Every structure is written in C-alpha cells, then in structure tokens.
Amino acid sequence: MLSLFIPTLTKFWSVFLVLWLTACLLVAGTHNEHENIVKDFFKGNGSSTHTNNWAVLVCSSRYWFNYRHMANALGMYRTVKRLGIPDSNIILMLADDAACNSRNKFPASVYANPGRHLDLYGSNIEVDYRGYEVTVENFLRVLTGRLPESVPRSKRLLSDSNSNIFVYMTGHGGSEFLKFQDNEEISAHDIADAFEQMWQGGRYNEIFFMIDTCQANTMYSKFYSPNILATGSSLEGENSYSHENDNDIGVSVIDSYTHYVLEYMEGVNKTSRLTMGDLFMSYNVPKIGSHPGIRSDLFSRPLGGGEVLHSYGIGNGWRHPGEWAGREQERYKKGSEALITDFFGGVVGVDVEEEGTSDADNLEESLDQSKTTQPSKAGRNSDIKAATYSGSAEKPGASGTRWKEFRAWASFLIVGLLVGVVWTRRSTLWHPFGFRITRTVAIDPCSKNNCLRINIQPFLTESDSRIAVIVCKQESAHSPFQQSCKLTPLVQNRILSFLSASMAKFFFGSLLALSTLAVSLAEGNLVYPAYGGVPVADAGSVDFNNSLTNTDSIVSTAQIVDQKGGAAGDVIPLPPPPVTLTAIDGEIVNVPVDSLVTNQTQSSPTKRSVNDYVQIFKGTGTGPYDRDGSIEGTAYLTFTVLDNSTYNVDACLKFCDNVEQCVFANLYYEFNNPGLDSGGSNLKCAVYADVHNATEKLNRGGQQLAPPPAGLTYIQQSTGWAAKSLVEPKTPDGFELVFGPTNGANNAPGYMGFAFIDRYDVQACADLCNTRGADSQGGNCQYFNIWRALVNGVPTTYTCSMYFLVADESTAVNFGQGNLAVTESRGYRRKSVIPDGGFEGFNCGTNITAPFCFTPGYSAWKGISPATGHLDASIFDYAPYARTGHGVALLGSAFGEDDFPGTLSPASSLDTEAGKTYTLQFFHSSAFSGAEGEADAFIEVHWNDAVIATIKPGFSGWTFYSFNVVAQGNDVLQFHGGKAPSYDFLDDVSLFLTVG
C-alpha cells in the first residue's frame, strides 16, 4: 500500500507547487497595477522636482566647552528626522561626544535649554562620523562621493540628480574658513569646489546650505554652482553668539542663531506650505545678536514670502549691506516657491514616468549613460512630464514590466533549484545543520564525579541517514572536555526506505531544525556557562580604544591659560598659597586644590645648602640709569624682604630652602615702592617651584604707587638662582610610581580628563585623581600622569592627566607639539589591596588558541559552594564573558545543576591598615540568561561578615559599583550571590585607600 501511495503523494505535491508559483506570478503582476494607482494619486503634489531628501549635519568642534556646537547639530538632526528625513538619508558628523564626557552631569544626554525638557541625544541617534573621523577630508569625500570601497553605505551620501540636500555646519570659524577640531580648517573655496563637483557628477538637484559660526556669511561667498540657496548667522567681521547657559551643565548649551531657527521650525510640520522666505523673515537681529544673511542668486526658484520678504526684515533689524546676495533677482524668478519641507522634510511628491517607460527602464538607461557621459546641466530644473490615464485602463508599458516580473520569479526558482542540487551533493560537513553542531536537550542531575549529558545531533552520510542520541559520561566534574560518549541510533534510514540518502538528509535535517526550535521555545534556548553558552544579551566587553588622551585639548588650553606670577605688592604672603587648579578639561578655573580635599597630605621641605644652588642669570648694576626686571613665571610660591644693607644672596637661598617645593629664587631691588621704603628695606627675594631664565624678566616696574612728584617703580640688580637638582617628589599615600621622570607624556586608553595646576605638585595631582568623579564605563581614577610643558624653553603649564586604566612608560609617546616640549613626566597608579582583581592570573595555558576553562579557585581567589551545590562560584578564562581581558568570576551554578548562591572571596585576608577608609569598586553583569532568567540575580557584599550592600539588578549589563569601608586590619571581603539560571558575573575588583 505504501509503495502505491507514494507516487500519488508525489504528484499531489507537484501540482501544488505549480499552482503556488502561478499564484505568486499573478500577485506580482497585480502589485504593478497598484503601484501605478499610487503614483497617479501622488502625481504633481510636490513643489519641487526632486524625489529624495538628504541632510549632512556637521559639528566640527571638540572639547567640553564647545557643548553648544554639538547641541546645534543634534537640534537640526532632531528637526529633519521629525519632518520625515530617515536616518538612512542623514549623515551626522560629531567631532566630540559631550553626552559621554565625564564632566556631563547628565550622562548620555544633551540639552539645548536650561530647563532640560528635551534630550537631543536620546536612545534613537545614529552618528555616522564621530571624534577623529570628523575631518575636512572625510567631509569633502562624503559630499563628492569619493570614499574608499570599505566605507559602508550608512556613511555615504547616496544622492543623485533628483536629490535635495540640506548641509548644516557649526563650529568656530572666521573670514572664509571653519575650524575642524582646532586642528585644521576648511575654506569657502573648498566647499564651493566640492559643490561644483557634486553638480558635475549629478549628485544634487538643489542644495540648501546653512552655517552657524563667526563671520558665517563669508563661507558661502565663493559658491558658483547652480541651484544653491545659502544662509549664515553673521556678517564678515561679526561674531556669532551663544544663546544661554545652563548652570548645572556649566557651559553654554546652544548658539543664538540656531536656537531661533529651531524655535521657528517647531511650528513646521510635514505638510506645511511655509516657504524658505517665511523662514528668512523670522530672523530677528536684536534677538539673535548678529546679522544673518542669505544668498539666492544661484537659486532658480522664488523663495516665497511675497512683497514682505523684499523689504527683508524691516522691523526686525534685518537690514545691512551684504545681508542678501541675489535680492534684486528675486522679483523675476518663476516657478513653484521653495518650501521649507523641500529641504527639511521627506518627499511627498513622487516621480511619474513618461509614457512607455518604467522604473527598470529608466534605471538601466541611467546606468548606461553614467558609464559614458557626464550629466547635462541643461534642463535640470525643467518640470517632469507626467503621463495621464483614465478609468482603469492599463498604463502603457505595464505588460513589459510584468514580463520583467515573470523573469525575476523564474530566475529565483532556477537559482533555488541549483542551490538545492549543490546542497544535496556536498559532504556532510557542509550540511546546513552541521555535523558538529549539538543541541543540549537535557542535563541530568550530576554528582561530584558522575555527570550525564544528552545531546541530539544529525549523523548523516550518503549511505546512512539517521538522527542519533549521544550520551556522554563526563569523567571529571571540573573538566567538561574529558568525556566518553556512545552513539545510540534514534531514527534510521530503514524506517522510510523509499527516501534517497539526499532526501533523507533534507527530511531529517528539517526534523532536527523543528525539534531544536521546539526545545528552544520550551527551555529559553539557554546553554549553561560551563558549556560555553552564549549570553542571551551581550553584556558588552568594553573597548577603550576610543578613550585615548585628548592631547589636542591639552595643547589648545595651554595656549590660553596664564599661570605666570610674581612678587607683587609689599605685603609678605607667608606661608605660600595652596596649589591652585587653573584649568579642568579645557575650562579655565581658579580653585585651590585643597578645597576639594578634606585631609590633604603635606610634605616637609628638602634641606639644602647654598652650595646646592647655581646662578642662572645676572642683574644690572644700581646706577641711576640702570633698569632691570623681575621674574613673572609659573609656579610662584611667595616672597620675603631682606635686609638691604648688603645684597644678601645667602639669606635668600636659605629662605628658599625653608619653603616647601622651592627650587628657584629671584633676588632684586624694587624702588619707589612706599610700602617697602617705609619698612626700611626694598630687597625682595621671590621664590618659585620651577626654574626660570632671563627671558622671563617681564615685570619692569612702571607703577605709580606714590603720588607725584614721586617717580614710577623700577627694578635693579635682578639675579636668578636655581637648585642643582629639582626636588624629587614624595610618592603620595595609596599610590606607587610607575615610571619617570621622562620627556614623554602618556597617550593611553582609559582617559578621563586633565587639569592644570599652578606648580609641579604630585600630591595635588593625586588629590585630583582621588576626588575625580567615577566614569560610567571605567570607574574611578586609578592612574595619573603629571608633566611640565616648556614653550620655547619657558615653563608654561603643569598637566595632570587622569585615567581609569593603569598605563605605563610604553605609552609615554607624546613628546610635545610645535614649540611645546614635554618634560618631567611621571606616572603613578593607585595601589589596590586586592590581588588580581581582574582574575587574569588564572588561564588555560599558553598554547591554547581560544581559551575556555574554569575553576572553583586558584592562588588569588576561592569559590565556595553549599554542601549540596556544585560549582556555584567559579573563575573563567573566557574572553567573551569578561568585561576586560580574559578573566572573570561567576556566581551561580556553572553547569546549571542547582539554584544555590555561591560565595567568592580573595584567597587570603586583605593587608589593610586598621582605622583607614578604603574604596571598594567592582563591575557586575547579569545579562546571561535574558530578562526573565535573570530576574533573581543578586549580589551581597560582605565586609568582615557584615553585609554592606545588597544589589538586585535583574537583567543588566556591565555596571560600576563603589562603596567605602573602614578597615580593621586583615579584613575579609566576600561576594555572595547567583541563583542559576540567574547568573552574576564580577570583574575588575579593586580596593583603594581613600584620601580626601
């Protein structure tokens, strides 16, 4: 019976297949008719002949204090998306990421108003070019389409001759140039030539160019290509100003011109008929604070706005020579008015082909032409001729399109058959369900030394097709690699003998796929950590390659900060003033460092004798016409007045010897200073924490301190004396010296920011590191690099760069830029009491290509499981599970055999100092089993048997935690948690001495 039934069944399926293919072809033909109806409906509704819109939005500024430029670009990004331009048609270039800056009080957010009602960054932003990718070269390549083949489509401007493009730029600029990251400039000629290349290459229909920068209107003065409309925020020689500050953020949050443009755009929707003229009429000079301009002489269509626009802004203060290039031609332009949505929104109108043509025909024709000729400029703005049809008559040429649809379906069927033939002829190793792919269906409860694993997998050859159950007895509970397995047939080819071997492959492979899907749905598709299971959600191993030292910001800030000081006045300021913070992350400040620290450590002066000094420069004489100058330099400490009966160098050097950090003394006479004269001495001894030379004699007197006819102050016989060696700084408590001194600063990952201090003070830099706020990705500051900058040989700044990753001398490769040289560079790291907090000390061996192994403990850490549990706390050498490196700790049964919590602790008690406060920090992830599986995830932090914190994160990626603890000496730290299938991973555990 079965042999009689099989042919009938085969015929039935053949008839079914033919009917199915016929139905598909009919549906494909109907689809074209429906498309024609839609095209007829939308035909002619657009005000422009373009068929697609693009936006290129550029913020060219780096550094935190340029927050507003990023907000400008993101505000435009939000507007064009709201009005219908999809992310696929937006190229967003941000030179910096203020949202993730460590100084941002509202992480992952950017706001454009002090009320912070709208987050411009949000969760739905796609940045195409970020950080150092934002260069003049990349911007021009995006416009002209001359990008390497490796650049993905998402980072390309895939425009054509029917594209309207909105180009917006913001940053710092001047007359006919715009800065990119304070490192390079793009000129008005560069942009003009790029637009001409775009026109010649058929890459746009119309361009609307908008720029917000100082002297912005000069940036479009060199344009010469057709169909470009341009506007800017300010005239030549005029600044463009910020709108308002946010006291919590600490910087200006948006520029004035962009603010008022965006404010107007909030009243525009996707179907708005407002024109570009209406937008320009909204410009209000008194509010904006500068004179915006427009240029329309290259633009062929009228701007709209009627006669009101021709008076351009009467009543709004918008009247100034050069504000509108092309105003006179505006009255004579014909055609449809330029709508705002022609550039800011999605396309409402669609192209309708002329009679007898189709999309495919036009595409093939345009491709052929593009290979042989340049696109013609003639007629680029002519109206598209639309074909008309009546009733339900078929559009001419539709039958040709239907034939193309039939060819497409036929090709699909032929290719599918060929793939099927090749597939069934290949070896089993190529089989789509894989000879070696296994699926864990069940894991029986295991004892300590007897574990049973059951897998289903295909076991298919050309002669024997079957599905087998593989029973594996694990020889060791701690080594999932040593197994003895037995193959037990489940289904054999003899049961369905009428199937060929190749058909059997297909049948049983499909059966396996369906069974795997069923098991996945039933069990949540979870493969336990001991079997190398892939987390349901990637917790995200962290890549810090984009967090390198921002040397550009440091150098640019060094060019504007002034740390020079000298012995002004006549009141002796003893003791020396505290170390002062003069800049932080590019912002100029003036804050004593000790105001940030509650218990600052002070060191004792280093005792020297007069013979330990050498004269650096000599002074003038004391004749009636001799004039000299005193030092105005960095690292000024204090001064005193000496008995001027003799020029007492020894007394001055002894004074320096008793002032902490002093390495240089400047001794000189200051005359016509009433305060000094009344005291009986005018011999000043000014001391510094750095060495200076005669080129820094910048204080030449000249002050009128006494009423006329008394003369102006003047200086004589100014000499300089320096210690033969600089003071070797004391290593701060809780830190250790990594390298130095050298003449190279770190350029390393894990960068958090920098500070300038007014002298070379290692302790002050350590205090800044200790009090630096934690980075959301990297945690607390664990390392700092302090170095001195010499500009043309003169001490200029003292930089303290901070990092959440420990660096070393191998990355001290920044030797300076231009006339700025790095000197006296030292690196210090915080000492962690916990040994091997990153679990990197455990590994599978050096000869293993892809390590995967685990253990309940090793020399640095130990895992403890309950009496009836098994491997509920373990350490893995497996990079995909780790946050950094390859080591990571796990709480929860690695084999999924129980739901008991495990306990993890350092292998020995901690070498702490009783009474001291320490900072415990670590990173935790519970993203292995998915939202439902991780519902019971928890961690208890135990300090000397006391629970100091309980964390119940649920489903969560790598998250930073930090707690302060007071040491008793030989303290015990434990992490208790995990409840399989809720798994808790720990990495990068540290315990630092808390200072400040």
Q: Which residues are marked as active site?
A: 172, 214
In degrees, rounded to 5, the angle at the alpha carbon of residue 457 between the alpha carbons of residues 456 and 463 is 130
Q: Cβ-count burial of 820 within 10 angstroms (0-12 exposed, 13-18 middle, 19+ buried)?
A: middle
Least Cα distance to 447 among 420, 478, 422 occurs for 478
Question: Among candidates 712, 715, 716, which has minimal Cα distance to 702?
Answer: 712
3-state secondary structure 923-987: EEEECCCHHHHCCCCCEEEEECCEEEEEECCCCEEEEEEEEEEECCCCECEEEEECECCECEEEE
Sequence-distant contacts of 471-474: CB under 8 A, at least 24 apart: 474/446, 474/450
How far apart are the C-alpha atoms of 58 and 210, rounded to whole Å?
A: 11
Residue 979 CB neighbours (<10 A): 21
Q: Residue by residue, what is the 3-state secondary structure of 849-867?
A: CCCCEEECECCCEEEECCC
Sequence-distant (≥ 6) Cβ neighbours of residue 341 within 8 angstroms = 83, 84, 268, 270, 271, 272, 348
How far apart (Å, rounded) are the C-alpha atoms in residues 130 and 171?
15
Do 888 and 881 touch, CB atoms closer than 8 A? yes
Per-position b or e across 199-222, b if 16+ CB within 10 A of its CB = bebbbbbbbbbbbbbbbbbbbbbe
Q: Residue 566 and residue 14: Cα distance in Å, rounded? A: 99
Closest by CA to 819, choosing from 799, 793, 800, 795, is 793
Contact yes or no for 473/504 (Cβ under 8 A): no
CA pair distance 986, 958, nearest whole angstrom: 9
Q: Which residue has the tokens 């001391």?
A: 687
Please list, in sequence order, all residues whose beta carbon lies within 8 angstroms of the beta carbon of residue 124, skipping any fewer than 6 positions away.
none
> What SS3 class is residue 879?
helix
Burial class (CB in 10 A: 0-12, 13-18, 19+), 364: exposed
Does the N-terminal peptide bond of residue 302 adopt cis geometry, omega within 30 degrees of 0?
A: no
Give dist(CA 935, CA 947) in Å, integer. Answer: 21
Supply 255's token pair: 């520029």
Query: What is the SS3 assignment for 44-75?
Result: CCCCCCCCEEEEEEEECCCCHHHHHHHHHHHH
**Structure tokens, 742:** 């050298």
CA dist 509 and 497 (Å) reads 17
> What letter represents residue 288's amino acid?
I
List strands edge to edge, sheet with 129-130.
Answer: 129-130, 90-94, 52-59, 163-170, 206-212, 228-232, 293-295, 324-325
The alpha carbon torsion through 73, 75, 76, 79 (nearest 10 deg) reads 160
**Inter-residue contact 941 to 956 (CB < 8 Å):** no
Q: Which amino acid is at 369?
A: Q
